[in-house]
Amino acid sequence: MYLSHRTWPELGDYVAEESLAVVPLGSTEQHGPHLPLATDYLIAEALAREATDRTGFLCTPPVRIAVSEHHRQFHGTMWVDPEVFRDYVESFSRNLGYHGIDRIVYVNAHGGNVQHLREVGRRLRHDETAYAVEWMWDESIPDLVSEVFEHNGPHGGPKETAMIMHIAEELVREDRLADARDGGLVDLADADTMRFGSRTFYDSPDNSENGVFGDQTDATPEKGERLFEAASDQLVQLLEWLDDQPFADLMPEPHVDPQPGSRR
């Protein structure tokens, strides 16, 4: 059920029976010379729509601009400050709670959002408004990603390239795949990111001249379909598991008893 395509009485019928919502989140940021800036939110929304179509749960419109300042040197990248992002996500999550939603899955496709979504989830759980968890598609199928690609790359690499080839192939500049590989960083082991135990980088161009990693020429629509189907299956299982949990069991444990079994 896609929230923005429904009427308010239909949403009323939904929350009378269900209390789970799925929120896709991505970014609008550079993904090299071969992929659109929309890459992350296109992947997040496609997976969220697929999983909610299969399960009947509620899917909200996507969050398209997020924490991407570390890509700001590349034309077109848009971002908001981390605290603005956290407050915005928390605000609309509480809005969902007002309408009867008490568990939320943030379907996330942008690494820069992870820690902030975790913080929002902590806030919502702290006052028992909702149980909200962040789900990152590639982290749900790490073995498959490693099996499919020899040189994966965490950003703009073959896994994201293959996913967009499957979801929206017309947006991939296939004539620039070799440029992406040759102008980026193929093997992360070659990145000069640590000095004496300290991470010495902050922004994307500190590590990759064209902003991407891995071997993009290894991507195909067929590989993207494998990743998409496997990740969708994982997300469906997460939604069904979360829906089955009693809300009280999802809330924080009470204060530990310093003297178990004692009488007062």
Cα–Cα distance for residue pair 62/75, rounded to 1 Å: 22
Sign of CA pseudo-dihedral 35, 38, 44, 45: negative
Cα–Cα distance for residue pair 183/166, rounded to 1 Å: 24
In the chain (264 residues long), the average pLDDT of successive 10-residue segments reads: 97 98 98 98 98 98 97 97 98 98 98 97 97 97 96 94 98 97 88 81 90 96 98 98 97 84 64
Nearest to 138 by CA among 234, 54, 210, 203: 234
Q: Read off the tokens for 199.
A: 């991470």
Q: What is the DSSP letter of 67?
A: S
CATH number belonging to domain 3-247: 3.40.50.10310
21 contacts 57 by C-beta, under 8 angstroms: yes
Q: What is the pLDDT of residue 264?
A: 54
Which pTM does this prediction carry?
Answer: 0.94
Where b means 16+ CB within 10 Å and e means fewer, 36-70 reads bbbbbbbbbbbbbbbbbeebebbbbebbbbbbbbb
* Domain range list for the chain: 3-247
